[in-house]
């Protein structure tokens, strides 16, 4: 005991295993490691995944400024920087944990080799099994036996850093090199990783002179990750919304919504591309960036209206909203270690809800009307066959008899089969499927049964007309009555229709 306190360092073996439990996936772990490469000024990052059963490994090499030996030792120290420490405006780190926690989440052996201009290569390694066995924070000064060749590529660079993940127990495990199922799963993970990096770093990868290039399993252009932007800004049918700046004590936060095109306004290739890594429904909502690096990809962040939180729904899938944060607001937005979560502070929740509600409503209108127009109201030259009305508390979808194609049919003295087929085709092709789907999902209680708000006498009159048409077509009185009662629209009125018809239509 020293004075009135004890020194209580964490047990090395237990603590280093706990550092694996931050909830990283392979995608978020590798993205965190690439943050370090970008912060080091790298122009190129090369990812090399190698399948070899339980001897599989992944390396991440960059051409950034590298590290000398003292800097490397400090970087390998868990908690190498305080999250309260002031950072450069373009720094992507925060806790000083990312290199270690991200790597430990995927492997049990982390080797980092670094080189600065004019200096020899420095190497340090964390071996989780070794630390657990010795129960001391022993940072080894050499790579694993037999791994020298995996680091040799750094000799060809003037400067840079190579991160080597070995003993990949989370994605390779205890398997054999010829296990086809595990091999397939390994490379499926790499495919998901490629899509994730294309999204997370798209603003760094985009343009004719990108800030950085990321290449997977190769060094030529075919290996380069192609950026994927959530906002489809280059498509002519995308509707960017006005940008707003939300005021915070530490500065302003730019917010901008984008309404993506309806499927009917895109080619199949464009539609598939804009869906994103997880599909149209999952990709809707807010996209939170920190220093142009994506943190949150598609979430309504717990916002909502009228006491109901917004959820991912089909009719809002065209709405995507960008929020740009500086790294000075990490604590305010509670950015986590994995840099995959943000919590909105109370100061901006109201303004952001109001802005997002407008974007959502515009997206809803475009979805409902297949991209022809949004919530601006129909243009004068748009003549709709169907109209939506409220009757007795229920929504009804009626055919507008004033529509020119139908009015001419009703007013033509001599109706031909072609007239009728034309009218029916127009009705079939214009059924407001999206609008009906939206109304039903949002207000299922307003869905009424056929003729639910129609006077009983009107139903009987319609049934009688159909009954006589069946008789004119050659049916017997009994068969015609049965045919009318079996029609789905008259099922709830069978008793009164039978009574009416049995009484001779009186």
Rounded CA separation 10/22 (Å):
17
Q: What confidence tens digit (pLDDT) does each residue in 335-366 have?
A: 877 666 788 998 999 999 999 999 999 999 89
User: The domain 239-368 is classified under which CATH number: 1.10.3470, 3.30.450, 3.30.230, 2.50.20?
Assistant: 3.30.230
| pLDDT > 90: percent of the chain | 55
Q: What confidence tens digit (pLDDT) does each residue in 131-181 have?
A: 999 999 999 999 999 999 999 999 999 999 999 999 999 998 889 999 999
Secondary structure of 187-210 in HEC code, one letter for each residue: HHHHHHHHHHHHHHCHHHHCCCCC
Q: Which residues make Cβ contacts (< 8 Å) with residue 419, sequence separation at least 6? A: 408, 409, 412
Taking every pair of Cα atoms in the chain, the longest distance, rounded to a whole number of angstroms, is: 109
Q: Over 50: is that where the pLDDT of 375 sits?
A: no
| pLDDT > 70: percent of the chain | 86
Q: What confidence tens digit (pLDDT) does each residue in 68-103 have?
A: 999 999 999 987 554 444 545 554 444 357 799 999
Instruction: Using DSSP, state whether 299 is helix, strand or coil.
Output: strand
Strands (E), 177-266: 213-216, 239-240, 244-248, 251-259
Q: What is the DSSP string of 58-102?
A: EEEEE-S----HHHHHHHHSTT-S-TTS---TT----SS-HHHHH
- Cα–Cα nearest to 244, from 340, 334, 350: 350
The pLDDT, as a whole number, for residue 82 is: 43
CB 275 within 8 A of CB 297: no
The pLDDT, as a whole number, for residue 442 is: 59
The pLDDT, as a whole number, for residue 376 is: 45
The pLDDT, as a whole number, for residue 374 is: 47
The stretch 280-300 carries a mean pLDDT of: 94
Q: What confidence tens digit (pLDDT) does each residue in 45-63 have?
A: 999 999 999 999 999 999 9
The stretch 305-313 carries a mean pLDDT of: 88
76-101 b/e with 16+ CB inside 10 Å = b? bbbebbeeeeebeeeebbbbbbbbbb
Rounded CA separation 458/441 (Å):
30
493 or 220, which is more confident? 220
The pLDDT, as a whole number, for residue 331 is: 84
The pLDDT, as a whole number, for residue 78 is: 85
The pLDDT, as a whole number, for residue 390 is: 67
CB 263 within 8 A of CB 247: no
The pLDDT, as a whole number, for residue 381 is: 47
Q: Which residues make Cβ contacts (< 8 Å) with residue 176, sequence separation at least 6? A: 53, 54, 182
CB 192 within 8 A of CB 277: yes
**Number of residues that this document lists for the chain:** 506
Q: What's the Cα-to-Cα distance from 205 to each of 200, 292, 293, 299, rounded to whole Å?
A: 10, 11, 11, 23
For the domain covering 12-223, report its CATH number.
Answer: 3.30.565.10
80 or 299, which is more confident? 299
Q: Which residues make Cβ contacts (< 8 Å) with residue 316, sequence separation at least 6? A: 284, 310, 360, 363, 364, 367
- Cα–Cα nearest to 201, from 212, 217, 216, 185: 212
Q: What confidence tens digit (pLDDT) does each residue in 416-458 have?
A: 787 777 777 877 777 777 667 666 665 665 666 677 667 888 8
Q: Over 90: is that where the pLDDT of 114 sits?
A: yes
Q: Return mean pLDDT, the chain.
A: 85
439 or 301, which is more confident? 301
Do β-strands 304-305 and 213-216 pair in parallel, antiparallel, or remain unpaired? unpaired
The pLDDT, as a whole number, for residue 405 is: 66
The stretch 10-39 carries a mean pLDDT of: 92
């Amino acid at each position: 005991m020293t004075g009135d306190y004890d020194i209580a360092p964490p047990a090395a073996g237990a603590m280093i295993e706990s550092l694996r439990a931050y909830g990283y996936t392979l995608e978020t772990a590798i993205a965190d490691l690439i943050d370090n490469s970008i912060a080091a000024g790298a122009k190129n990052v090369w990812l090399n995944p190698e399948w070899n059963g339980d001897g599989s490994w992944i390396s991440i090499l960059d051409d950034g400024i590298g590290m000398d030996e003292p800097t490397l030792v400090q970087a390998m120290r868990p908690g190498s920087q305080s999250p309260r420490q002031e950072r450069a405006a373009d720094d992507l780190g925060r806790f000083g944990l990312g290199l270690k926690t991200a790597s430990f989440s995927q492997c049990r052996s982390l080797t980092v080799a670094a080189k600065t201009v004019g200096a020899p290569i420095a190497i340090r390694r964390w071996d989780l099994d070794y630390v657990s066995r010795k129960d001391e924070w022993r940072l080894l000064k050499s790579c694993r036996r037999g791994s020298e060749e995996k680091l040799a590529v750094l000799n060809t660079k003037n400067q840079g850093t190579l991160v080597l993940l070995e003993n990949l127990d989370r994605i390779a495990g205890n398997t054999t090199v010829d296990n086809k199922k595990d091999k397939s799963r390994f490379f499926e993970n790499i495919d998901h990783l490629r899509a994730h990096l294309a999204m997370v770093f798209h603003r760094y990868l985009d343009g004719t002179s990108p800030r950085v290039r990321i290449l997977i399993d190769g060094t030529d252009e075919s290996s380069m990750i192609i950026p994927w932007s959530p906002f489809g800004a280059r498509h002519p049918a995308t509707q960017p919304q006005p940008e707003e700046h939300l005021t915070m004590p530490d500065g302003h936060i730019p917010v901008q919504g984008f309404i993506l095109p309806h499927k009917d306004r895109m080619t199949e290739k464009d539609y598939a591309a804009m869906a994103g890594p997880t599909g149209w429904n999952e990709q809707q909502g807010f996209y939170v960036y920190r220093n142009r690096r994506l943190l949150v990809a598609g979430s309504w962040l717990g916002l909502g209206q009228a006491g109901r939180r917004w959820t991912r729904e089909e009719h809002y899938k065209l709405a995507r909203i960008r929020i740009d944060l500086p790294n000075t607001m990490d604590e305010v937005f509670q950015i986590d270690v994995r840099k995959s979560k943000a919590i909105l502070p109370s100061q901006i929740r109201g303004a952001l809800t109001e802005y997002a509600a407008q974007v959502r409503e515009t997206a809803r209108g475009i979805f409902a009307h297949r991209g022809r127009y949004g919530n601006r109201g129909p243009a004068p030259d748009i003549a709709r066959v169907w109209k939506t009305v409220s009757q007795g508390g229920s929504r009804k979808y009626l055919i507008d008899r004033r529509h020119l194609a139908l009015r001419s049919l009703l007013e033509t003295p001599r109706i031909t089969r072609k007239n009728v087929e034309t009218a029916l085709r127009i009705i079939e092709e214009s059924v407001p499927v999206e609008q009906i789907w939206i109304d039903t999902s949002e207000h299922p209680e307003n869905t009424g049964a056929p003729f639910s708000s129609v006077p009983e006498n009107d139903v009987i009159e319609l049934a009688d007309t159909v009954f006589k048409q069946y008789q004119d077509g050659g049916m017997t009185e009994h068969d015609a009555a049965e045919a009318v009662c079996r029609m789905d629209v008259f099922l709830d009125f069978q008793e009164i229709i039978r009574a009416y018809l049995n009484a001779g239509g009186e």
